[in-house]
């Protein structure tokens, strides 16, 4: 019976591809830059209008105020069987308003390009269509809860609490972030964002250099110690991405600063990194180093509940004629929050394509029906079990 349902969903997804492409264009044409509150608010209004067009009015709907960040829209559609699935999606993108004027949506054969199409408006479209097809075919389905957030690209400062609450009673959280060449992302690194600031003593570089204590020189001394905290064999990387400081070439610098990106796969590494950063001190006692920042997301590693969900997803993929593989990636997502709480989550179920955060960003449309059918069939299987 389940195999027949999977085949029916696959056929329905193929037939619906033109409409899905139209919906993707509609969402990409909404510019929703993470730092543009006005654009985010307008974009979410339009996304909700589209959502109601495709699925009808939800039984439960709440729009959580994001403050200076994008609002969080939470909707719920009752199922016809047991279980609850949470679709966790972000509608914000890294592309400022005005990008579409110079980079409009383009469809060239199988390739759909446009700002935010791959990361992750394609995934939003796919989650809605997976739900819609189950209803159209009168297939048993779980209750569907959707959480659309507007701050994922900047660390989810306003939405994290809503994510953790909304996933608490879900049988599984599905994150339709872009796939990695069709593979599911079962491991993601945790991410820490830190600033190291050095205060020195200014003086004239020619007339009285010994009276000064250069913050720039001190920071240059500390950078190798910062990057030396990396442990690639444990999956820990450290990158100093920005350095600034000083006021002039003839001034012994009184201040300097660097921005540090840390990625970890093992949770215990966070404490080791914290200790290493805390111990930073220039050799010249007149200069002082201060570290600020925090761990933005914990690492995501497979837990038993997620492994069981992945095994079920592999069964569905096999019925669709594919061997589903898993992959670990260095980037983080909102799935990290859910996984760290020991809850079942599957990530990277979204668009097939490439080029996130780049002008090469694109979706391969031929992969869309498979992804939609796989998610829809997984939901049916979850309910029937």
The enclosing H or E element of 89 equals: strand 84-90
Tallying the residues shown for the chain, one arrives at 385
Which of 31, 92, 151, 202 is an active site residue? 92
Six-digit token string for 26: 């509609």
- Annotated catalytic residue 92: yes
Q: What are phi and psi for residue 13, nearest 5 degrees?
A: -65, -40
Cα–Cα dist 80/66, whole Å: 32
Cα–Cα dist 257/42, whole Å: 37
How far does Cα 180 stand from its chain's mean position? 13
Cβ(334)–Cβ(86) below 8 Å? no
Cα–Cα dist 272/360, whole Å: 37
DSSP H helical ranges for the chain: 2-28, 37-55, 99-102, 122-136, 160-166, 215-227, 268-278, 304-319, 335-340, 368-384
Cβ(135)–Cβ(141) below 8 Å? yes
Which of 152, 177, 221, 347 is an active site residue? 152
- Which candidate, 287, 278, 264, 272, places its Cα nearest to that of 215? 287
Cα–Cα dist 350/68, whole Å: 28
State whether the Cα torsion 310-376-22-51 is positive or negative. Answer: negative
- Which candidate, 131, 36, 125, places its Cα nearest to that of 353? 125
The enclosing H or E element of 106 equals: strand 106-108
Active site members: 92, 152
């Amino acid at each position: 019976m389940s195999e027949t349902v999977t085949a029916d969903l696959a056929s329905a997804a193929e037939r619906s591809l033109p409409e899905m492409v139209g919906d993707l264009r509609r969402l990409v044409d909404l510019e929703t830059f993470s730092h543009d509150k006005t654009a985010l608010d307008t974009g979410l209004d339009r996304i909700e209008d589209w959502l109601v067009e495709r699925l009808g009015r939800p039984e439960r709907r709440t729009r959580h105020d994001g403050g200076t960040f994008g609002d969080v829209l939470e909707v719920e559609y009752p199922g016809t069987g047991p279980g609850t699935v949470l679709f966790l999606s972000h509608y914000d993108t890294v592309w400022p308003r005005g990008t579409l004027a110079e980079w409009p949506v383009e469809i060239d054969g199988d390739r759909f390009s446009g700002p935010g199409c791959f990361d992750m408006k394609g995934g939003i479209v796919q989650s809605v269509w997976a739900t819609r097809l189950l209803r159209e075919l009168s297939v048993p389905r779980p209750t569907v809860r959707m959480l659309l957030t507007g701050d994922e690209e900047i660390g989810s400062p306003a939405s994290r609490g809503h994510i953790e609450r909304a996933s608490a009673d879900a049988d599984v959280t599905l994150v339709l972030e872009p796939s990695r060449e069709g593979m599911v992302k079962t491991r993601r690194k945790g991410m820490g964002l830190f600033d190291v600031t050095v205060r020195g003593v200014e003086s004239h570089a020619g007339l009285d250099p010994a009276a000064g204590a250069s913050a720039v020189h001190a920071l240059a001394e500390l950078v190798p110690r910062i990057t030396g905290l990396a442990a690639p064999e444990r999956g820990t990387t450290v990158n100093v991405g920005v350095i600034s400081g000083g006021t002039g070439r003839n001034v012994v610098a009184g201040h300097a600063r660097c921005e540090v990106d840390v990625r970890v796969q093992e949770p215990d590494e966070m404490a080791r990194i914290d200790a290493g950063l805390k111990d930073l001190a220039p050799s010249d006692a007149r200069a002082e180093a201060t570290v600020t920042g925090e761990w933005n997301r914990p690492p995501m590693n497979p837990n038993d509940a997620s492994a069981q969900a992945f095994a079920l997803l592999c069964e569905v993929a096999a019925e669709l004629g594919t061997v589903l593989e898993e992959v670990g990636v260095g980037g983080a997502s909102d799935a990290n929050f859910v996984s760290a709480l020991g809850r079942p989550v599957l990530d990277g179920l979204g668009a097939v394509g490439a080029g996130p955060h780049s002008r090469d960003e694109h979706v391969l449309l031929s992969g869309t029906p498979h992804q939609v059918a796989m998610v829809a069939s997984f939901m049916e299987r979850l309910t029937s079990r």
